[in-house]
Amino acid sequence: MTDDPKDGIQTEEGVLDLETGDLSQIRKAIEARDAQRVFELLDPLHPADIADILEQIGSEARRTLLHLYGSEFDGDILSELDENIRDEVVGYLRPEVLAEAVRDMDSDDVVDLLEDLDESQHSAILEALEEEDRHAARQALTYPEYSAGRLMQREFVAVPEDWTVGQTIDMMRTSTELPDQFYHVFLVTPEDMPTGYVTLGRLLSSKRETALAEILEDSFRSFELDEEEGDVAYAFNQYHLISAPVVDPDGRLVGVITIDDAMAVLDEEHEEDMLRMAGAGEGSLSDGVLETTWQRLPWLGVNLATAIVASLVIAIFEATIETLVALAVLMPIIASMGGNAGTQSMAVAVRGLATRDLTSANIWRVLRRETLVGVLNGLIFAVVMGVVGYVWFGSLMLAGVIAAAMVINLLVAGLSGIGLPALLDRLGVDPALASGTFVTTVTDVVGFFAFLGLATVLLL
């Protein structure tokens, strides 16, 4: 922990707290255009923290900061930046600074950077690379988007499958082209086909004469270039992989995927699911007003249409509501309880589909469970609302109507919360994208119809 009470920035192992005065100090240094002060404040920080600062400040301050920080800009900062402002940052960097930053990046990070930039900015990035790296980046961009070929990095350590521990250690000690970080040494055939891998810990703890084939890990598996990155990430999480090779159509080793990249894919997918369930698109805090408005507009429109459908159901029972005004008071309770119960079941379903825990093999068991949960919750809150309805309006029959409607709506909420996402997934539609609107519509329509229908039959 370092703390200079006079004018220093507080850090703990390079961690920046943007909720304290740290960001304020950086803003003041930017406004004063004090390059030395900017360097003093940013130098102890992790690249991810510097990326957070760039995302927190405005566009003009961002431009000034990049100008002041100049040649100290690290390529890892680009890797950590929100993709929505990467192209802006790249445009602000001087060509020589950008070139140096890109040269320090791993090949997979360079490809990720190129994916998010405009075509016009590709040349600036590619020109900064060595000829071999430039060719590798261009080739990676030919692979399908969201594939293992896009996700892999080309920096890895591979040795002949008949080598010993001693030969491998000697090679690594003398090599000048080892990756900065790696977890496994891959064994390959003379045709460059991977046959297994050895962990560095096992390698360093074994005797020099030990054959690598004797200390192979059981977790070895490979991925093809066009394999979906979501499937790759799932395999890493499911089988506890640390790194895995990527092979071309002939089975030759061409790259490696590491756990940090696989977990980043899972994190992005979970974040997208959350935003889509809320109808917020794929936006971020750095998006502009018009862009954010455009992302949210479509599903707000869909929600309006479904709300009109629910209103049409209410209109059918207009005469009933006019006769018994208490129904208008109690209707929002039915809609709210059904919507919340449906959202709970839907969250379980979307999460289960994303992690592949909800499958055709267990869908009926989960549906039965959610049905019983809906019935039990419905009965509990039916008693509660029955008492409330009787105390409030002094009508035993009205209390019975709202109690019955509560049971029916929570039962339907449980069924639709699981069933609709599963059905959408079966039809090839992203369940996180459309489930929320449909589940809410079903619970509203069923809840209003049950409540007002029962009231019409029993109270009038």
Residue indicated by tokens 């994208």: 433
Does domain 158-274 fall into CATH 3.10.580.10?
Answer: yes
What token pair was written down for 334?
Answer: 């039915």
- Residue 301 binned pLDDT confidence (cut-offs 50, 70, 90): confident
What token pair was written down for 91?
Answer: 């445009």
Domain residue extents for the chain: 22-150, 158-274, 289-459
Q: What is the pLDDT of residue 286?
A: 58
pLDDT digits (tens, 9 = 90+) for 117-147: 777 667 777 777 778 778 888 888 889 888 9
Q: Say if CB 403 and CB 321 are below 8 A apart.
A: no
Q: Say if CB 198 and CB 123 are below 8 A apart.
A: no
Distance in angstroms (rounded) separating the CA atoms of residues 38 and 62: 12
pLDDT digits (tens, 9 = 90+) for 269-279: 777 766 666 65
| One-letter-per-residue 3-state SS of the chain | CECCCCCCCCEECCECCCCCCHHHHHHHHHHCCCHHHHHHHHCCCCHHHHHHHHHHCCHHHHHHHHHHHHHHCCHHHHHHCCHHHHHHHHHHCCHHHHHHHHHCCCHHHHHHHHHHCCHHHHHHHHHCCCHHHHHHHHHHCCCCCCEHHHHCECCCCEEECCCEHHHHHHHHHHCCCCCCCCCEEEEECCCCCEEEEEEHHHHHCCCCCCEHHHHCCCCCCCEECCCEHHHHHHHHHHHCCCEEEEECCCCCEEEEEEHHHHHHHHHHHHHHHHHHHCCCCCCCCCCCHHHHHHHHHHHHHHHHHHHHHHHHHHHHCHHHHHHCCHHHHHHHHHHHHHHHHHHHHHHHHHHHHHHCCCCCCCHHHHHHHHHHHHHHHHHHHHHHHHHHHHHHHCCHHHHHHHHHHHHHHHHHHHHHHHHHHHHHHHCCCCHHHHHHHHHHHHHHHHHHHHHHHHHHHHHC
Say if strands 253-258 and 194-199 run parallel, antiparallel, or are unpaired.
Answer: unpaired
What token pair was written down for 153?
Answer: 């990095």
Does domain 22-150 fall into CATH 3.40.50.720?
Answer: no
Q: What is the pLDDT of residue 13?
A: 44
Q: How many CB atoms lie within 10 A of CB 238?
A: 10
- Residue 241 binned pLDDT confidence (cut-offs 50, 70, 90): very high
Dihedral sign, CA of 306, 352, 257, 44? positive
Of 371, 401, 403, residue with least CA distance to 384 = 403
Q: What is the pLDDT of residue 84?
A: 75
Say if strands 243-247 and 223-224 run parallel, antiparallel, or are unpaired.
Answer: parallel
Give the percent of the chain with pLDDT over 90.
Answer: 33
Q: What is the pLDDT of residue 198?
A: 96
Overall average pLDDT of the 211-238 stretch: 93
Q: What is the pLDDT of residue 9?
A: 44
Does domain 289-459 fall into CATH 3.40.50.620?
Answer: no
Overall average pLDDT of the 52-66 stretch: 88
Q: What is the pLDDT of residue 81?
A: 84
pLDDT digits (tens, 9 = 90+) for 192-222: 999 999 999 999 999 999 999 999 999 899 9
pTM higher than the cut 0.75: no
Distance in angstroms (rounded) separating the CA atoms of residues 151 and 259: 11
77-91, 193-207, 387-401, range with the lowest pLDDT? 77-91
Residue 6 has pLDDT above 50, yes or no: no
Q: What is the mean pLDDT of the chain?
A: 84
Q: Say if CB 253 and CB 192 are below 8 A apart.
A: yes
Residue 395 has pLDDT above 60, yes or no: yes
Q: What is the pLDDT of residue 8?
A: 43
Residue 335 has pLDDT above 60, yes or no: yes
Residue 338 has pLDDT above 80, yes or no: yes
Overall average pLDDT of the 349-376 stretch: 88
Q: What is the pLDDT of residue 372?
A: 92
pLDDT digits (tens, 9 = 90+) for 12-42: 444 555 555 578 888 888 999 988 888 888 8
Overall average pLDDT of the 439-455 stretch: 90
Q: What is the pLDDT of residue 17?
A: 56
